[in-house]
Amino acid sequence: MTTMTTTSENTTAPAAPEPTPAKATGLLPLPLTTARALILGGGALTVVSCFLSWTWTAAFPGDLTVYGYPGGLQWQVLVTGLLTVLFSLSSYGVKGTRWLTPAGADAALKFSALASFATAWYTIVAISVQLGGPINLEPGGAVVGVATLLTLIGTLALPFERPELHPVDPEDDSWSQFRHKAANGWQTFKVSFAAGQARAVRPLPSAVEILIITGILATGLGIFTYGIGTEYDELFIGFLITAGLGFAALTKSGLIQQATQLTAKHQNLTIAGAFIAAALFPFTQTDDQYATIGVYILIFATVALGLNIVVGLAGLLDLGYVAFLGVGAYAAALVSGAPTSPLGIHLPFWAAVLVGAGASLIFGVLIGAPTLRLRGDYLAIVTLGFGEIFRITMMNTDGTSGPDITNGSNGIASIPNLNIFGFDFGMEHSIAGFTIGRFANYFFLMLLIMAVVVLVFRRSGNSRIGRAWVAIREDETAALAMGINGFRVKLIAFALGASLAGVAGTVQAHVTYTVTPEQYLFAGPIPPNSAFLLAAVVLGGMGTMSGPLVGAALLFLIPNKLQFMGDYQLLAFGLALILLMRFRPEGIIANRRNQLEFHENAEAPATLAKAGA
């Protein structure tokens, strides 16, 4: 018995040292009470300054000369100023505001103050540049500049918790490194859990949760309508600054996470509500101008969701996916009664959809069958080649270099508008007193097709084949060892994604009237193209349903609004993507697996703790 005790004592591994306590530090040496008072006072002064005149002339867009009523960019500063005030009150523990910061107020305050500062000073600089110097600022412009600067200084003095982590010795064995990483992750989790535990709230009634989801969807519709309807360039740039930093502030406060959990709990209701909110969009417009952008966003988003099956679920890097959109568009154009079509066929819309989807499906199988045995970079190169082969083939089938099928670079023009059961999509219609134009008609049609695509994505992703796609994506060798037919599973993903792109291409052919090879490049300034489609999936969140939809909307809207920048458009857009990928690599809307992959130390211990409970 004594021998056994001695052996156990001798073989026991030395205990890991206790982590040192977290240190509270701030970038500026101000007393905490002074910093918080500065933030609250600066935020309140920012709100007041939005009701003052910022310049003396209406020559600056938005007319910032009116006292008592904000205009243009003043509204954006007002929103971020109010957000700063509310977060500041929550940090003081004011009753009725604690729910605003379930993850803590300090980090959220930093981003909301930065949003106010960036938008306000961007406006001040724009006024000075356009009108000939800061002499054109009224007292309100000076007040908002000072107020936002003081607020930002106050947030820089706020403490932030950083746990002291144990350094990992690269010469340690794997077990010692694992123990160090586990201790570091657990320490980080304890700090974040302690901050959130004090703010735990009781579950809400289902009726209240449904009302909150309705408010979230209404807010999303309002933000999208405001962004797409910005009347001048300065307002849209301010909108990007406000929306980006405001989203970061809401994320740091924990509200985005709570909203995500709430919508996931009522997923079917949220999806139905999202489609209802999208259907209301054309009724918010006074003409058909912005409905045009809306229908192109839906086409782009539908194709991105199909690509998400290939890239996000199955893990197949496809760089020529836009070719399947072109196959569907050309196939539908050839059979839709266009006078320039050599076939001379005019099929009804449902038949044209079947032809477009079927043609893309066939091409997906023909391309996938010999190439899907490749992996990684080799597969990407082959798919990139297919995209270029498709475009060059459409250029050469003009009756000179090849058979007369597609009219070469002239494409197939004068594609007639759809007419379904007597409803002419090219005519204006009156619904409940609202005049709905041509692009709004196609918007509603594309919304119905989007609903079908979302249903297919959800059902396939949750099915046995969907789980096989995820297994192939995570580790193809292990999936094959478990008995999954990798080639067949990948071919199904390739074919299904291609057919969904073909359906979207059918509608695109009728919306644009003309189908030409130049519309289906690998990369270009305006989507859809293969590079933007892939960026939409990665930016929005691979493997999720709503991620590519959000990513596609942003990637189509922003380049259209930034055309005034000319040659610097892609530079600014690329820098924005780099920053977003740096600070949110898992995408705007990420699934749990991607969050654990990119934030392993901070999230994994929490997951393990929940699993153990």
DSSP string for residues in 451-471: HHHHHHHHHHHTSHHHHHHHH
The predicted model gives 287-291 an average pLDDT of 74
Q: Are strands 423-424 and 429-431 parallel, antiparallel or unpaired?
A: unpaired
Mean pLDDT of 232-243: 89
Helix (H, G, I), strand (E, B) or coil at 336: strand
Please give the angle made by the CA atoms of 217, 577 and 530, to the nearest 5 degrees. Answer: 90
Half-sphere exposure of 375 (CA within 13 A, CB side): 7
Amino acid sitting at position 554: L
pLDDT surpassing 50 at residue 552: yes
pLDDT tens figures, 179-232:
555 455 544 444 444 444 444 446 677 788 888 888 888 888 888 888 888 888
pLDDT value at residue 592: 64
Q: Is the pLDDT of residue 606 over 50?
A: no
Distances (CA, A) of 604 to 36, 107, 127, 344: 33, 22, 48, 61
Determine whether 574 is exposed, middle or buried from the number of CB atoms within 10 Å of its CB (0-12, 13-18, 19+).
exposed
Q: Taking each helix axis from N to C terminus, what angle separates 206-228 and 547-561, rounded to the nearest 10 degrees?
A: 20
On the question of pLDDT at 146 being above 70, the answer is: yes
Distance of CA 449 to the CA centre of its chain: 21
pLDDT band at 380 (very low <50, low <70, confident <90, very high): confident
pLDDT band at 169, cuts 50/70/90? very low
Helices 530-540, 569-583: inter-axial angle, 10-degree rounding: 30
Please name the residue that has the structure tokens 């530090």: 25
Tokens of 507: 């509608």
pLDDT at 368 over 60: yes
> Do the Cβ atoms of 220 and 277 come closer than 8 Å?
yes
Residue 73: the pLDDT is 92
What tokens does 253 get?
């406060």
CB 80 within 8 A of CB 246: yes
Confidence of residue 588 (pLDDT cuts 50, 70, 90): confident
25 strand-pairing partners: 160
pLDDT for the residue 188: 47
Mean pLDDT of 419-439: 76
Per DSSP, 21 falls in state: P
Residues 453, 449: Cα–Cα separation, whole Å: 6
Nearest residue to 328 via CA among 443, 500, 444 = 500
- Contact between 300 and 528 under an 8 Å Cβ cutoff? The reply is yes
- 160 pLDDT band (50/70/90 cuts)? low
pLDDT at 524: 64
- pLDDT at residue 123 in the model: 93
Asked whether 50 and 78 are in contact (CB, 8 A), the reply is yes
Instruction: Quote the CA–CA distance of 351 and 345 in Å, as a whole number.
Output: 11
> How large is the average pLDDT for residues 260-272?
85
pLDDT digits (tens, 9 = 90+) for 88-131: 998 888 888 888 888 888 888 999 999 999 999 999 999 999 98
The end-to-end CA distance of the chain, in Å, is 36
Q: What is the DSSP letter of 516?
A: -
Q: Strand 423-424 and strand 419-420: pairing?
A: antiparallel
Residue 454 amino acid letter: V
User: What percent of the chain lies above the pLDDT cut of 90?
Assistant: 14
When pLDDT is cut at 50, 70 and 90, the band that residue 527 belongs to is low
Q: Are 540 and 547 in contact (CB under 8 A)?
A: yes
* Integer angstrom CA distances of residue 583 from 539, 542, 598: 12, 16, 10
Question: CA–CA separation, 252 vs 108, rounded Å?
Answer: 5
For 103-115, the pLDDT digits (tens) are 888 888 999 999 9
Q: What angle separates helix 106-131 from helix 139-156, to the nearest 10 degrees?
A: 150
Whether 302 contacts 537, CB under 8 Å: no
* CA neighbor of 458 nearest in space, from 500, 509, 401, 520: 500
Average pLDDT of the residues of the chain: 79
| Residue 152 predicted with pLDDT over 80 | yes
Question: Average of pLDDT values for 444-462?
Answer: 86
- Let me know: does 504 contact 325? Beta carbons within 8 Å: yes
Q: What's the token pair of residue 226?
A: 């405001």
Residue 525 has a pLDDT of 60
| DSSP per residue, 190-218 | HHHHHHHHTT--PPPPHHHHHHHHHHHHH
Arithmetic mean of pLDDT, 424-446 = 79
Digit-coded pLDDT (tens) for 52-79: 999 988 888 888 988 988 988 999 999 9
pLDDT at 191: 46
Neighbours of 262 (CB within 10 A): 16
What are the contacts of 136-142 at 24+ separation with CB within 8 A? 136/55, 136/56, 136/57, 137/54, 137/55, 138/52, 138/53, 138/54, 138/55, 138/56, 138/65, 139/52, 139/53, 140/49, 140/50, 140/51, 140/52, 140/53, 140/54, 140/64, 141/53, 141/54, 141/55, 141/64
Do the Cβ atoms of 500 and 302 come closer than 8 Å?
Answer: yes
Residues 6+ apart with CB under 8 A from 462: none
Task: Please give the structure tokens belonging to residue 33.
Answer: 């009470």
As a whole-number percent, the residues of the chain with pLDDT over 70 amount to 83
Q: Collapse the DSSP code of 434 into the 3-class scheme (helix H, G, I; strand E, B; otherwise coil) and give the result.
A: strand
The pLDDT value given to residue 39? 92
pLDDT for the residue 593: 63
